[in-house]
């Protein structure tokens, strides 16, 4: 690919489980912290940035076009434009590939890209009928009219719709993301034991990689009291008001999802969440609902040389592909096949592979589909399968089951993590791939320079 996009460097916040250490910070603040840290780490003059591009799935209503809010608060000059992109779980990837497209179109040569997500602060919603009553109340001018509207409210009006659950449910097929994982578990014959073993490996690898992952992370000060609990609206109650408390750190220094004491026995005790009678997908073998932000400095190879940067690597090719929304977890297989057709890179060319762990069942289904002759012929129009994804190349530093999945940020995190690992191993090429809610897949090939 000509005019390759160089990934100069990157930084991210810790990834913290929703409702914990980063819950008091919105997506705009998490993004600001990451971009500020990136500018500090690289020493780049912010005036040289041509555009800021950030992924965000649950875009905050109080920070419209959150990328612009992040950019201004991080000290990016006002004339520099900013755009927020949304491709569900691949939003962070979309930010990277959009920068590549703008570079090739001559629309800039230096970009700050990445993603930000505060899943703790996805709002609770009133039903439409309740909102209409509040609307009538706001228009009532006389006391009698107000009393009449007040009397029309019922307890059911104050039962909220959970925005997070709505966002994780596909409106086309009617299944939530966990239910799509159950579909794959049944169709590919993936056992509960295999899923739990995959989840345990994710935790073990993430714990073992803590020192390596720390190279990516900047500290985040949340400005909160040390003790308390987070309520449903994302606010903290003091310990005296909390029925149960946990110690909350005023500064987040590392990912808090990986469990050092995770065990097969503990995972086996968890009940299925999405199909309570016969299901196998549990909270333990699913990705964690998480807060976090990532910022990457990307630019043309020529500009990197002019500015004296030695990039981590380059974007060597990419593809997105659609698939059945009820089997959205297979999106990586379709995207990898399309990327191979466009770039010539096959799975055998990858020294490392980062496959986002939306669910253990979904990840294991991708591994099986990639090796299936029947799947290749029926769904990919190929006479041979994609090939094997070896365990010693796959998610070597753990994945989203342990580290978490702040949906707008994960794609950019995978790019950063695998490029740094390529340098440690003095390896050449890595594949980053994700399934995408709504029935899509993303596949990005990156190379170490």
Of 16, 56, 323, 405, the catalytic one is 405
Q: Is 406 exposed, middle or buried (0-12, 13-18, 19+ CB in 10 A)?
A: buried
Of 93, 323, 418, 435, the catalytic one is 435
Phi, psi of 25 (to 5 degrees): -110, 135
User: Three-state SS for 436?
Assistant: strand
Of 16, 89, 218, 418, the catalytic one is 89
Name all contacts of 69-72 with Cβ < 8 Å and 24+ positions apart: 69/28, 69/31, 69/32, 70/28, 70/31, 70/32, 70/35, 70/116, 71/35, 71/112
Does the annotation count 423 as an active-site position? no
> For the chain, what is the radius of gyration of the CA atoms?
22
Does the annotation count 56 as an active-site position? no
Does the annotation count 418 as an active-site position? no
Give the span between the Cα atoms of 60 and 374, in whole angstroms. Answer: 43
Name the one residue in this structure whose structure tokens are 């399934």: 435
Joined tokens for residue 225: 């009291």
Q: Is 196 exposed, middle or buried (0-12, 13-18, 19+ CB in 10 A)?
A: buried
H runs (alpha helix) in 384-428: 400-403, 410-425
CB 357 within 8 A of CB 366: no
Looking at residue 425, the DSSP 8-state letter turns out to be H
Which of the residues are catalytic? 89, 405, 435
């Amino acid at each position: 690919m000509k005019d390759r996009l160089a990934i100069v460097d990157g930084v991210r916040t810790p990834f913290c489980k929703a409702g914990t250490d980063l819950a008091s910070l919105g997506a705009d603040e998490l993004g600001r912290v990451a971009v500020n840290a990136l500018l500090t780490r690289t020493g780049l003059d912010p005036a040289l940035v041509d555009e800021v591009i950030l992924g965000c799935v649950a875009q905050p209503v109080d920070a419209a076009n959150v990328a612009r809010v992040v950019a201004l608060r991080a000290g990016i000059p006002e004339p520099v434009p900013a755009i927020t992109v949304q491709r569900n779980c691949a939003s962070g990837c979309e930010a990277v590939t959009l920068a590549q497209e703008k570079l090739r179109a001559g629309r800039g040569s230096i970009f700050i890209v990445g993603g930000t997500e505060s899943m703790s602060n996805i709002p609770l919603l009133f039903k439409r009928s309740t909102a209409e009553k509040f609307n009538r109340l706001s228009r009532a001018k006389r006391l009698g009219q107000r009393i009449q509207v007040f009397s029309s409210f019922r307890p059911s009006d104050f039962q909220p719709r959970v925005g997070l659950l709505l966002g994780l449910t596909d409106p086309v097929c009617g299944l939530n993301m966990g239910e799509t994982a159950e579909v794959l578990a049944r169709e590919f014959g993936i056992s509960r034991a295999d899923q739990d073993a995959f989840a345990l490996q994710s935790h073990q690898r993430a714990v073992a990689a803590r020192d390596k992952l720390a190279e990516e992370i900047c500290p985040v000060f949340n400005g909160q009291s040390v003790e308390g609990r987070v309520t449903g609206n994302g606010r903290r109650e003091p310990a005296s008001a909390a029925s149960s408390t946990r110690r909350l750190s005023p500064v987040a220094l590392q990912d808090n999802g990986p469990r050092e004491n995770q065990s097969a026995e503990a995972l086996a005790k968890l009940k299925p969440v999405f199909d309570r009678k016969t299901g196998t997908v549990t909270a333990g073998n699913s990705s964690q609902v998480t807060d976090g932000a990532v910022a990457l400095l990307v630019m043309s190879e020529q500009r990197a040389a002019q500015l004296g940067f030695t990039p981590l690597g380059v974007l060597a090719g990419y593809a997105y592909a659609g698939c059945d929304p009820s089997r959205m977890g297979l999106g990586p297989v379709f995207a990898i096949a399309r990327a191979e057709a466009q770039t010539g890179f096959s799975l055998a060319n990858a020294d490392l592979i980062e496959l986002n762990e939306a669910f253990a069942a979904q990840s294991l289904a991708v591994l099986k589909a990639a090796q299936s002759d029947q799947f290749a012929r029926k769904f990919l129009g190929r006479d041979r399968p994609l090939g094997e994804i070896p365990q010693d190349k796959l998610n070597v530093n753990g994945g989203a089951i342990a580290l978490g999945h702040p949906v707008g940020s994960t794609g950019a995190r995978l790019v950063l993590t695998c490029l740094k690992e390529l340098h440690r191993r003095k390896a050449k090429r890595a594949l980053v791939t994700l399934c995408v809610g709504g029935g899509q897949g993303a596949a990005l090939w990156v190379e170490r320079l």
